[in-house]
Amino acid sequence: MPLDPRSALRAAISVPGVPRDADGPVFREPWEAQAFAMALALHERGVFTWTEWASALAAEIKRAQAAGDPDTGETYYRHWLSTLERLVADKGVTTTDTLIRYRDAWDHACDRTPHGQPIGLTPADFSH
Amino acid sequence: MSGHDHHHHDHDHSELSETELRVRALETVLTEKGYVDPKALDLLIETYEKKVGPRNGARVVAKAWADPAYRARLLKDGTPAIAEVGYAGRQGEHIVALENTRQRHNMVVCTLCSCYPWPVLGLPPVWYKSAPYRSRAVSDPRGVLADFGVSLPKDTEIRVWDSTAEIRYLVLPMRPTGTEGWSEEKLADLVTRDSMIGTGLAKNPGEVK
């Protein structure tokens, strides 16, 4: 399935709150664009519908607000990322433990990579 | 005579924020399981080059072209000059502006971790992540520039700069000819991300409407 600006625009319209302009989504930081693109890829693969995504995201935002999130719009993509993590676990794509293991491995990879060198994962990054 | 190509390096380790670590973890897991194709993700993300962050750099460059006093301040000390147009970097971060001239072309190679000053430069180009690009930029900068369609006079020296944990660079490209009397706003349209990292030149007046 194409991961293209047209399907991205459709996603930005289908999901409430996505910051956008006339062409499609806009982002505050580079990682937000990555998180958006991953959700789009999973949607195109049929992992979830936008309706399903929107309600999972709404639930995530509600939980965050209950925990004191100021909901200024600046945290929108944080909730988006948490929703991604939660949904891929719920759908059996992966597990929360796996995500944590990979997060820690990347953290280790960063620590041992001299500044400016490409950061890559090696098996040894998982044994810390 | 192409002059010698300098290469500065710092041995601090790399840095990614907590959020970036989570994004990388997710992308790696989804890639390994075959749910996402990183190349397709990168292609899509490239289309958002102009949709990420405030892109203050173009305004900084345009102002430096139009206002000689500002240009002097920028080249003397980049951080406060860039702050004048509204971008305050993270604490301890220092931005150095490198002026391109007929005699010297500057090119920056490090955009691999959080140190890339995206609020100034916009979205990093995806090809910057590739290790072959990086080593070639250091060993054969002229060849890399040629790949991007940039050919410089033979006697223009090319300098390659590598950001460190404390220092980021902004290339001040040469002002295109035929833009005399243009407003800063109009000039800013000529400033591309690639021209601010030195892998491209500013656009010519004919390339914008």
ipTM of the complex, rounded to two decimals: 0.94
Note which residues in 42-61 of chain A have CB less than 8 A from chain B: 42, 45, 47
**Whole-number pLDDT of residue B33:** 96
Domain extent listing, chain A: 5-94
- The answer to whether the CB of B79 falls within 8 A of the CB of A39 is no
**Whole-number pLDDT of residue B110:** 63
Q: Does domain B18-207 have CATH number 3.90.330.10?
A: yes
**Whole-number pLDDT of residue B177:** 95
Ramachandran angles phi, psi of B12, nearest 5°: -65, 155
Listed as ranges, residues in chain A with pLDDT below 50 are: none
**Whole-number pLDDT of residue B5:** 38
Domain extent listing, chain B: 18-207
Residue in B14, B114, B130, B139 annotated catalytic: B114
**Whole-number pLDDT of residue A98:** 97
Interface residue A23 vs chain B (CB under 8 A): yes
| Of the candidates B41, B99, B138, the residue with the CA atom closest to the CA atom of residue A1 | B41
pLDDT along chain B (209 residues), means of 10: 38 77 96 94 83 82 97 95 77 83 90 65 71 80 90 94 80 96 94 91 88
Whole-number Å distance between alpha carbons of B80 and B88:
8
Query: Which residues in chain A have their CB less than 8 angstroms from residue B53's CB?
Result: 27-30
